Each structure stands twice: as structure tokens, then as C-alpha cells.
């Protein structure tokens, strides 16, 4: 691939990534974290589950009464163009919308124009060995706000949790609510498989982000005839599970083989995690490529 400079889309213009520092100092995203975002994975030139990501973006914007920055089709074109200009075949697109620029006061401004930023970067999918060996997670109190269903850019509690996980040599933090139940990871949803083979994840209430990968896994699991329970589970139950994993757009199904100091089962990826990962990969391979043009509502893996 020819060497290309990174390009970002900033409030209406394609600009050099290194020059993309022109967001206003009174942008409410900067001052109040008053904005939302999405991350869409790109696999082999395919935007994965673009449609539900764009639907969730619309939902997050609606929940915060931020106007959509543009219609869906031009947005889909920008996602493809930013991926193309950055030569991303494997990686992700990041898109963020803030309420816009206004004189600083807490309540919504009377008129503000939403500001959108889109970037793309290449990133390798987790190495096959990692998918076999799995990763460690640590449990931490969930210190976030009460609307984790909104994909808001206010991620400080997630940042602190992920930093604590990283300092402990773990790949993710599993956050525990006041009732002792795991809500989700710092940037992923949490799952276990019980000893009698039931797949368990928390229902999509306000305490978690309803992951797009989570939804895909629920669909694939029911197609494969797995028994699925959407309910909370404690760290103690997770430590005694047959399998554990987390899910998000960049890792899909990531086996968890250690929780705090407890090794899960035999310390290797379980068969259900593997088969879900394989099924998702196969489904993604059926999606049209970005180069083939727009799909009416955006790609997804029904």
C-alpha cells in the first residue's frame, strides 16, 4: 500500500490528521463531555454492522436531544470515504457528535449546531493465540452514571477502570454494581457460560451499553440453539463458570480465562466462545464490501 497521511473529517472538511485541532474551545463536547460517539469495525474492507451502529447513534443523539448532524446517506458516504482515504481495510471508524459550540452555561443553548468528527485507523484483529489463551479481567466497583445505555463521550470512569485493569496486567475491567452483579466491561459487554451450558449476559437496561456485538451474539446463539439467559450474574458465579468472555466491535468474542486471581475452567478459550466467534466471522464475510457502494440502510449481519 502506498504510504498515505492520515485524514480526518472535521465538521464538514477532510483535513490532515496532524492539522485536525480546530475544534472550538467552547465546544460543549470539550467543556461538558456533551456528545456521543460510535466505533464501527472494518473487516476486510467491510463496515461491520453499520446499520445498527447508525441506529444506535440516532438513539444516543435523541436521548440527549442533539440534532443529527446530517442525513444517513451522506454520513454513510463519509464513513466509506474516510476509510478509503486512510487506506483502512482492517481497523475501525470512529465518529463523534457533540452538541456544538456555545457560550458556557450548563443548560442547553438555544441554538447550537452539532459538530461531527470522523477518523479511521488500521488495526489488527486480536491474534489467534490470544483468542485461544484468552485474557484476564479484574473486577472493580462500577462508578459510572445511571445512563450507561447512551454511548456518551463522558468516559472518565471507564478510563479509570481500564487504567486500573492495565496496571494490574489485565485486558479489561468488569464493573460490579451495588448489588454485587457485573454490569459490563470498561469498553465491552460481559458474558459467562454456566456449568450446565447456558449463555448468560445482563439484560440491556440503563446500566449497560447495548453492544451491537452483544446483539449479534444473542442472535447467533439462538440460531445455534444455545440456551440464553439475560440476567445479572455475580463475580463469584463468573469465577465458577465453564466459560467467560467479553464482546465488542473490535474484539468480537474475547475469551476471558482469568477473573482477578481465579482461572476460569481449564484456563483456555471455551468451545462456545470459539463457535460464536467463528459464526460471527462467517456472517461478516457475507457482507458487501465498502468498495461495492452503499447498502440502503448500511451493512448488518442479521
Residues at the contact surface with ligand PLP, assessed by CB under 6 A: 39, 184, 187-189, 209, 211-214, 247-249
Considering the complex, what minimum distance in angstroms separates the CB of residue 44 from ligand PLP?
Answer: 18
SS3 label, residue 47 = strand
Residue nearer to ligand PLP on the CB measure, 39 or 63: 39
CA dihedral 223, 284, 298, 189 (to 10 degrees): 70
Contacts with 57 (C-beta within 8 Å, 6 or more apart), sequence order: 36, 38, 95, 97, 151
Please state, in angstroms and rounded to a whole number, the distance separating the CA atoms of residues 220 and 110.
Answer: 45
Question: Running DSSP on this structure, what letter comes out for residue 101?
Answer: B
Please state, in angstroms and rounded to a whole number, the distance separating the CA atoms of residues 33 and 27.
Answer: 9
Residue nearer to ligand PLP on the CB measure, 247 or 257: 247
Cell of 185: 466491561
Cα-atom radius of gyration of the chain, to the nearest Å?
20
Considering the complex, what minimum distance in angstroms separates the CB of residue 119 from ligand PLP?
Answer: 15
Residue nearer to ligand PLP on the CB measure, 34 or 50: 50
What would the DSSP string read from start to end of 166-215? HHTT-SEEEEE-TTSBEEEESSSEEEEE-TT-EEEE--SSTTS---HHHH
Cell of 87: 487506506
Residue nearer to ligand PLP on the CB measure, 98 or 201: 201
Considering the complex, what minimum distance in angstroms separates the CB of residue 24 from ligand PLP?
Answer: 26
Identify the active-site residue in 41, 151, 214, 258: 151
CB atoms within 10 A of CB 16: 10
Contacts with 38 (C-beta within 8 Å, 6 or more apart), sequence order: 53, 54, 56, 57, 94, 95, 151
Residue nearer to ligand PLP on the CB measure, 27 or 38: 38
Considering the complex, what minimum distance in angstroms separates the CB of residue 216 from ligand PLP?
Answer: 8
Considering the complex, what minimum distance in angstroms separates the CB of residue 52 from ligand PLP?
Answer: 8
Considering the complex, what minimum distance in angstroms separates the CB of residue 101 from ligand PLP?
Answer: 26
Residues in the chain: 302
Cell of 29: 463536547
Residue 227 a catalytic site member: no
Residue nearer to ligand PLP on the CB measure, 98 or 248: 248
Please state, in angstroms and rounded to a whole number, the distance separating the CA atoms of residues 108 and 234.
Answer: 39
Q: Which residue is nearest to ligand PLP (CB)?
A: 211
Which residues are catalytic, by number? 151
Amino acid at each position: 500500500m502506498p504510504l498515505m497521511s492520515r485524514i480526518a473529517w472535521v465538521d464538514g472538511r477532510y483535513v490532515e490528521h496532524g492539522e485536525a485541532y480546530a475544534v472550538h474551545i467552547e465546544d460543549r463536547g470539550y467543556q461538558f463531555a456533551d456528545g456521543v460517539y460510535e466505533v464501527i469495525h472494518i473487516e476486510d474492507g467491510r463496515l461491520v454492522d453499520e446499520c445498527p451502529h447508525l441506529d444506535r447513534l440516532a438513539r444516543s443523539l435523541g436521548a440527549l436531544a442533539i440534532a443529527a448532524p446530517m442525513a444517513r446517506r451522506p454520513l454513510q458516504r463519509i464513513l466509506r470515504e474516510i476509510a478509503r482515504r486512510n487506506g483502512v481495510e482492517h481497523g475501525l471508524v470512529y465518529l463523534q457528535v457533540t452538541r456544538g459550540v456555545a457560550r458556557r452555561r450548563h443548560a442547553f443553548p438555544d441554538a447550537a449546531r452539532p459538530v461531527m468528527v470522523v477518523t479511521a485507523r488500521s488495526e489488527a484483529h486480536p491474534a489467534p493465540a490470544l483468542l485461544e489463551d484468552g485474557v484476564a479481567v479484574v473486577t472493580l466497583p462500577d462508578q459510572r452514571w445511571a445512563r450507561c445505555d447512551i454511548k456518551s463521550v463522558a468516559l472518565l470512569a471507564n478510563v479509570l477502570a481500564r487504567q486500573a485493569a492495565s496496571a494490574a496486567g489485565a485486558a479489561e475491567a468488569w464493573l460490579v454494581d451495588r448489588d454485587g452483579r457485573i454490569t459490563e466491561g470498561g469498553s465491552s459487554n460481559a458474558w459467562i457460560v454456566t456449568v450446565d451450558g447456558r449463555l448468560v449476559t445482563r439484560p440491556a437496561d440503563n446500566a449497560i451499553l447495548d453492544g451491537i456485538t452483544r446483539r449479534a451474539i444473542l442472535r447467533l446463539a439462538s440460531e445455534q440453539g444455545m440456551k440464553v439467559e439475560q440476567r445479572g450474574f455475580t463475580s463469584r458465579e463468573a469465577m465458577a463458570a465453564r466459560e467467560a468472555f467479553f464482546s465488542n466491535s473490535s474484539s468480537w468474542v474475547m475469551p476471558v480465562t482469568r477473573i482477578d486471581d481465579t482461572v476460569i475452567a481449564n484456563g483456555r478459550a471455551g468451545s462456545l466462545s470459539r463457535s460464536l466467534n467463528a459464526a460471527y466471522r462467517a456472517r461478516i464475510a457475507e457482507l458487501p464490501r465498502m468498495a461495492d457502494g452503499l447498502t440502503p440502510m448500511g451493512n448488518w449481519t442479521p
